[in-house]
Amino acid sequence: MSASQPVPAAARLFLSGNEAVARAVWEAGTRVAAAYPGTPSTEILEVLAKYPDLYTEWSVNEKVALEVALGASMVGARAFCAMKHVGLNVASDALMTMTVTGTEGGLVIAVADDVGMSSSQNEQDSRYWGRFAHLPVLEPADSQEAYAMTRAAFELSERFRTPVILRLTTRICHVKGVVAAGAREAVEPGGFKKDPRRWVMVPGNAKPRLPLMFEREAAVRAEAENSPLNFVVEGTDRRIGFVTSGPAFMHVREAFPDAPVFKLGLSCPPPLESLGKFAATVDTVLVVEETEPLLETELKAAGIACHGKDVLPRTGELTPDALHLGVARLRGEVVVEPEHVVPQQVFPRPPTMCVACPHLGVYYTLSQMRNVMIAGDIGCYTLGAGHPWNALDSCISMGASMGTALGMDKGRGKVDENKKVVAVIGDSTFMHMGMQGLLDITWNRGNVTVLLLDNRAVGMTGGQDNPGSGRDLHGEETTRVDFAKLCEALGVKKERIRVLDPYQLPVLFKALREETKIEEPSVIITDRPCVLIDHYAPTKPYLVKEDRCTGCGNCVDVGCPAIHVTRRDKEVKASGKEVDLSFVRIDTSACTGCGLCVQPCAPEAIIHAEPVQTLQPVQFVRK
């Protein structure tokens, strides 16, 4: 859907949680929306960008996205930003001051927690930010509530002049449901009102606003006590009453349909008075929350007896099975733990990079190097830690490769004094949070070689554009970062910056050997587009001539998933022992002709395939 295409009319739509949030943001009359891609929140802005009559952008990081949204709110416009849970860590510097200034136009922050860590390095609980920043937190349980609570969040934000956090989880973001949608509101910005005492946060201005922040929090607490977003589902079995929020509510209702449930929609600040009254109507209160015992601790502090993480797991989703086990423990029943089933031994299929990924050559080269410490980062190239490369020694957070590498260099002792230090980082991650780290390396004269992998996309989250691609969120041409000039501006000597093709293994290997020998900062920029974006141009595929292949496996070490090892036949050795002969095959339907596997092939057994035009799908034959 583009700005020129019709928008679905008010109707019952089948939407994921992310799509439902996007629809509600648009309907709310929002004028500005910004985000940084990160699973499971990415699709919110991607969908929102297809709606007309509002400005959307991919920002260089989450802090900038939140600041863009705040600026729009300052001029009285409704504003929105989205990020995954670890992104709010990056944005928290701005967040913790915004809670003092408050907002003008409605400002909603969607934060998607990755409960179960399907695509993240940790499982933090973003509900804590509501308590830390004294902000309201809304928690939808399905797509319809994601839509409704987003609309409600803007109204709440403007009524109390505060940012509002919409806490999502992977289960909400990616599961679809029927949503009763409406029409777009016409909301005209009220205009900027000059007020330095509010917007200029020097200590003298900030101190008088702190009491206002606490007054606002008290008002929101009173709102929570009467909010229709918090309600009780009556039940006939009053032995256990559940207190829950978000998708855990759906699991509770599935597992214990006859039990009373206090469902929190506006979960921060918690309606402690109403929760106390609910607790008095049941024998035992069980708090079901993903992932931390946050509400459980608050209830106990308020003198409300309850159970929670003493019987329920602290990690992962609280599925009906987990709830049944927890309730059995609570009731003192004999708990039969699920039988540990040893999985059938099959050929391993670990996550891997795409066919012809430009990072393959980088990690193949690094895997051939000895006596090197490799600090990694967040992105597709994190997979370099796996088989067959095993060429990554750390991965902490966005941009951490730079500081980690510098620390390795400065902290090493005699046992590591001869080791080389390499930092690996992608283009989007470098712009997100890596530039400051490179500046720190040059400023403090670190002996680090940086591999900056420019594939012109935010690859891991779906190939989104970034300032290095030369296109904006809408695919329109814009400025493109010159990484060589940028690195030079950050203090790297011009002669220590190399731009090369990662498909040319000898050139890459030579550059790495030379730069790691020089005891000063250096940067090697690999310049090849991601194979999944339209910048990439495949060429003729390759195949293996079986009669030449010796089965040495050099091409397999490149790690391309289009290469398969198979058996040819058996051979009887002089000793009389029969052995299998292996050789490789290339899936020509997947091969894009990058040539990475050709270069380490000693017997020259890999040659171009020739496509034959037939009425059937394209077949490939030997040359």
Binding-site positions:
549, 552, 555, 560, 591, 594, 597, 601
Which tens digit of pLDDT belongs to each residue from 179-202?
999 999 999 999 999 999 999 999
Q: Residue 166: helix, strand or coil by DSSP?
A: strand
Q: Which domains does the chain have, with CATH numbers?
A: 12-189+201-226 (3.40.50.970), 231-330 (3.40.50.920), 359-527 (3.40.50.970), 542-621 (3.30.70)
- Cβ–Cβ under 8 Å, residues 150 and 108: yes
Residue 86, pLDDT score = 92
C-alpha 201/C-alpha 197 separation (Å) is: 7
Query: CA–CA separation, 610 vs 588, rounded Å?
Result: 10
Average pLDDT, the chain: 91
Q: What is the per-residue pLDDT for 236?
A: 94
Q: What is the pLDDT of residue 98?
A: 95
| pLDDT of 372 higher than 70 | yes
Global pTM reads 0.88
pLDDT for 612 equals 40
| Confidence check: pLDDT of 623 > 60 | no
Q: Which helix (H) or strand (E) holds 217?
A: helix 210-226
Residue 79 contacts residue 65 (beta carbons within 8 Å): no
Whether 446 contacts 410, CB under 8 Å = yes
Task: Give, in degrees to the nearest 5, the angle at Cα 256 between 251 and 258.
Answer: 135
Of the pLDDT bands very low, low, confident and very high (cuts 50, 70, 90), residue 2 is very low
Are 432 and 481 in contact by the 8 Å Cβ rule? The answer is: no
Give the pairing type, strands 578-586 and 563-572: antiparallel
The predicted model gives 37-66 an average pLDDT of 95
Q: Taking every pair of C-alpha atoms in the chain, what is the biggest distance, in angstroms?
A: 92
Rounded mean pLDDT of 38-59?
95
Q: At what angle do helices 85-101 and 210-226 cross, to 10 degrees?
A: 110
**What are the tens digits of pLDDT across the range 80-91?**
999 999 999 999
CA separation for the pair 490, 470 (Å, rounded):
21
Q: What's the one-letter identity of residue 181?
A: A
Please tell me the predicted confidence (pLDDT) of residue 3. 44
pLDDT one-digit tens code per residue, 252-279: 999 999 999 999 999 999 999 999 999 9
User: What would the pLDDT profile of 276-312 be if each residue is shown by its tens digit?
Assistant: 999 999 999 999 999 899 999 999 999 999 999 999 9
Question: How far apart are the two ends of the chain, measured CA to CA in Å?
Answer: 45
Pick out the residues of the known binding site for [4Fe-4S] cluster.
549, 552, 555, 560, 591, 594, 597, 601
> What is the predicted pLDDT for the residue at 537?
87
- What is the arithmetic mean of pLDDT over 51-64? 95
Helices (H), 236-303: 247-255, 272-279, 294-301
The DSSP secondary-structure symbol of 434 reads I
Give CA separation, 20 vs 42, 43, 168, in Å: 13, 10, 12
Phi-psi region of 288 (alpha: psi -120 to 50; beta: other; left: phi over 0): beta
- Measured CA to CA, the distance from residue 460 to residue 160 in angstroms comes to 38
Please say if the pLDDT value at position 460 is more than 70. yes
